[in-house]
Amino acid sequence: MSVVVVAVIRPRAGLTQRVIDAFEEVSPLVHEEPGCELYAAHVNDEVVVMVEQWSSKADLDAHATGSPLKRLHHLFDGILDGPVDVYAVAGVPLGKPSKGQLQIA
């Protein structure tokens, strides 16, 4: 069963683009990691939200200790307004399966 992760990143004022740039640098590497099904950024004026889906907990654990994430943490040095909030969550299918849960093509 897939593992879904939501990470909420709070950039310091005026530094949202630097956070996005950091994700743009590492995302091609993350997309090639074993088990990566989804690694996608979403943004508003205050936060960057990453939605991730991994094939297994073992794949997520490997990602958490891999070099792309280490590089990301280095790129984040001094540009975040606090720690990253990371949540591993389970989907709750609602209504139509095509609209009520994450879909991976």
Q: What is the pLDDT of residues 39-98, one digit of tens each?
A: 999 999 899 999 999 999 999 999 999 999 999 999 999 999 999 999 999 888 899 988
Fold of 3-100: Alpha-Beta Plaits (3.30.70)
pLDDT at 1 over 80: no
In angstroms, the Cα distances linking 34 to 6, 20, 59, 66, 71 are: 19, 23, 6, 11, 18
* Token pair belonging to 76: 């984040």
pLDDT of residue 24: 98
Q: Taking the C-alpha atoms of 56, 62, 101 and 49 in order, what is their torsion angle to the nearest 10 degrees?
A: 170
Average pLDDT of span 15-35: 98
